Amino acid sequence: MPYTLLFVCLGNICRSPSAENIMNHLIAQAGLSDRIQCDSAGTASYHVGSPPDRRMAVAAQRQGLTLRGRARQFTTADFEAFDRILAMDRENFNNICALDPAGNYRSKVQLMCDFCTRHTLQEVPDPYYGGSEGFNQVIDLLFDACEGLLHDVNQQLATSKML
């Protein structure tokens, strides 16, 4: 059974699909596509069914990535379906946790920037209303966070194999 990751932002057209696609790229490079699976979702339903934002796709293309996927909204079923849920910012984190008032799944929810090793930002900024530089910054930040996350997941998988 593969280890599952869910990346969550507000509308699921900029940050979370970028994180999903970057992570899938890194997972494939590491030869772990059969062991780790990714998805993304948004806390809001604004863009359900939409492809990733065109400006985000351009920024990803500059790094050699093609953004794939269609926006969907986060649901309570995702708590059971995923091993880790990665929120792009504190507001996303709080919105996810609000759907779990008993706190049964709280240990699965983490902030994406907690895995950065080169950047010091605590949250992935939403580039939606900004210029192209914001999209480039988000791609760079997410590469850093995804590399750290993959290292963390690899350690967890290695440890669980030893049990």
Q: Find, among 161, 145, 137, the residue nearest to 26 by Cα.
A: 145
Which is it for the CA torsion 24, 27, 31, 33, positive or negative? negative
Q: Measure the CA–CA gap between 145 and 124, rounded to whole angstroms.
A: 10
**Helices (runs of H) and strands (runs of E) counted in the chain:** 5, 4
Catalytic residue (one of 9, 38, 113, 116): 9
* pTM of this structure: 0.97
The pLDDT value given to residue 27 = 98
Query: CB within 8 A of 33, min separation 6: which ones?
Result: 24, 27
Give average pLDDT by consecutive 10-residue segment, the chain, 163 residues: 97 98 98 97 96 96 96 98 98 98 97 97 94 94 98 92 57
The pLDDT value given to residue 10 = 97
The pLDDT value given to residue 163 = 47
Q: Which helix (H) or strand (E) is 47 found in, with range?
A: none
Catalytic residue (one of 39, 53, 89, 126): 126
* Contact assessment for residue 19 and residue 34, using Cβ atoms and an 8 Å cutoff: no
Q: Measure the CA–CA gap between 139 and 15, rounded to whole angstroms.
A: 8
Task: Decide if 126 is catalytic.
Answer: yes
